[in-house]
Structure 1
Amino acid sequence: MNKPLLAALATLAVTGVGVAPAAASPAAPAASASPAAPAVRAVSFAGTVALSNCSGSVVRLPASEDDDPALVMSNGHCLETGFPAAGEVVVDQPSSRTFGLLNASGTRVGTLRAGKIAYATMTDTDVSLYQLTSTYAQIRGSYGISPLTLDDTRPTAGTAITVVSGYWKRTYACNVDGFAYRLKEGEWTWKDSVRYTSACRTIGGTSGSPVVDNATGKVVAVNNTGNEDGGRCTDNNPCEVAEDGTVTVREGINYGQQTYRIPACFALDNKLDLSRSGCALPKP
């Protein structure tokens, strides 16, 4: 979240790493990775997308098939319609939003279009899932690019990860430092958030980036926020709330929302079904 909240909301320019939008795009970064970043296997930009204000990725579920309509994942706070309120869940809403598809080197090779917002919320998690007008097979046939796969197992502390920003065409390499029982930022609260080690110094515009497990190449989280100024539980300054109510502030540390629960909420043909057994995403 960035400081001029009201003006930014009026323009729906959601560019912050945190949940509030920015009035203008952040300054371009100079380096592509921190010199302190650990050595990791190469993670490319293939399948990532650039939104008008955020990052995202074309994703498939473990059971998705080539002829299924493709999905693009980003943050709930990156919706073109503005931030969902605490407790709000958006399901099956029309959308014609476009996404710039990137190849492995980060070059934009095509434009994808949504048919609807399949699911979005900022409650318990911070995610949006757009259903595209193209299938996975059509995207592969036109651009030679395959989707990223959502892992359906929970990541573990110490996992080497890479945050891949299609907006900036930049990657951030670090490790899963641990998990926040609750992460509170302004009016929103997220559950079991991934906390990064300090090497992932994500910035405005990286919101919605896939967080990739370097060992498997699968997506384990979606990047969404960070504590910018050391504030306590305010916009741009999320705090961790432990199960016993203890509040911890970690200035300069960034976070993502786990995605392993998403596959259980989709049936055949990538159809959202929040009533499925095992589906724990918030319902409208």
Structure 2
Amino acid sequence: MKKPLLATLAVLAVTGAGAAPAVAAPAPAVRAVDFAGTVALSNCSGSVIRFPASQDDDPALVLTNGHCLETGFPEPGEVIVDQPSSRSFGLLNSAGTRVATLRASKVAYSTMTDTDVTIYQLTRTYAQIKSSYGIGPLTLSDTHPVAGTAIKVVSGYWKRIYSCAIDGFVYRLKEGGWTWKDSVRYTSACDTIGGTSGSPVVDTATGKVVAVNNTGNEDGERCTENNPCEVDANGDVTVRQGINYAEETYQIPACFGLDNKLDLSRSGCTLPKP
């Protein structure tokens, strides 16, 4: 995980091709990625999200990390569902200006097992938020991301956007007592810091969320907190100091049904269960 924000602030205070074809292939379309729909938490970042099948009158959802949960880190193997919450979120517009305070009604789902996500249900619908503030949610992609994809990591806490690409995928990412599966590894340009935890990772070609930012190896240590290590299918360990990671989100939509209601028994749902 990224260091708790206060710890991060304390650290900061102290310290050849051949001939070109006659007609070039068109470059991939790039969508403008801004802060609209992102949120600032008390110590993390997040975003208002919807699924491909969500409806405008569904209760809106906020996505962030499991380790951003206000009651503390979920233990390895722990899955939290339908936990009451009144947590508040600062909603940002495209320029990164806070335009509203949104409030949770509950934690719909939270875990740090296999992945690192918390999904809050809000007291307002997508339509109510759009009508009041002119801001819509970000859509989660329901397909696995692709290596080489250009991405942006959008931090509502810091009001900063990081640009890089998906360098590859990690069979197992281990940090302290937690292990995450099939994590996204960034190229080095995404040098995210504490407070960016929970930021949506947006595919610049589609504008859809493909992952949620969660950690990075800060000190070159092996598999310790704030120093995750990569473990391959053979059990071999690789440490990449200064490299940061995210957890995929394509598997989440299959676990929510009508009215954005969590249903871990749905066909295709692979999220860990309580």
Q: Please, what TM-score do these two structures have when normalized by structure 2?
A: 0.92
1:243 equivalenced with 2:233 (yes/no): yes
In the other structure, the counterpart of 2:167 is 177
Deviations 1:179-233 (A, max 9, x none): 0000000000000000000000000100000000000000000000000011000
Q: 1:56 to 1:112 in 2, by over 3 A?
A: same
Where in structure 2 are the equivalents of 1:1-284 lying within 5 Å? 18-24=1-7, 26=9, 41-284=31-274
Q: Identify the residue that residue 4 of structure 1 maps to in structure 2.
A: none
> CA separation in 2, counterparts of 1:216 and 1:50?
23
Tell me, in whole angstroms, the C-alpha distance in 2 between the residues paired with 1:20 and 1:204.
5
The separation in 2 between residues aligned to 1:196 and 1:81, in whole angstroms, is 29
Aligned Cα root-mean-square deviation (Å): 1.5
Q: Please give the alpha-carbon distance, in whole angstroms, between the structure 2 residues aligned to 1:81 and 1:127.
A: 14
Q: Distance in 2 between matches of 1:182 and 1:19?
A: 18
Aligned counterparts of 2:146 and 2:8: Cα–Cα separation in 1: 33
Whole-angstrom CA distance in 1 between matches of 2:46 and 2:217: 21
Q: Cα offset for 1:249?
A: 0.4
Q: Which amino acid aligns with 1:92?
A: D
Number of aligned residue pairs:
258
SS in 2 for 1:140: helix
Unpaired stretches in structure 1, ≥5 consecutive residues: 1-17, 30-39
Question: Is the 2:220–2:242 contact (alpha carbons within 8 Å) kept by the matching residues of 1?
Answer: yes
Larger of the two Rg values belongs to structure: 2
Distance of aligned partners of 1:27 and 1:108 in 2 relative to their CA distance in 1, 3 Å threshold: farther
* Paired residue type of 1:256: A
Query: Once the 2 structures are TM-superposed, how far is the Cα of residue 19 of structure 1 from its aligned partner?
Result: 4.9
Distance 1:28 1:101 in 2: 28
The residue number in structure 2 matching 1:37 is none
Over residues 90-131 of structure 1, what are the superposed CA-to-partner deviations in whole Å (9 max), with x where a residue is unaligned?
000000000000000000000000000000000000000000
Tell me how far apart the structure 1 counterparts of residues 203 and 10 of structure 2 sit (CA, whole Å): 28
Q: CA deviation at 1:21?
A: 2.5
Q: Is the 8 A contact 1:98 1:112 kept in 2?
A: yes
Shift of 1:277: 0.6
Offset of residue 254 of structure 1: 0.1
Cα distance per residue 1:258-279 (max 9 Å; x no partner): 0000000000100000000100
TM-score (norm 1): 0.88
**Cα deviation digits, residues 20-78 of structure 1 (max 9, x gap):** 5244452799xxxxxxxxxx653100000000000000000000000000000000000
Percent identity reads 78
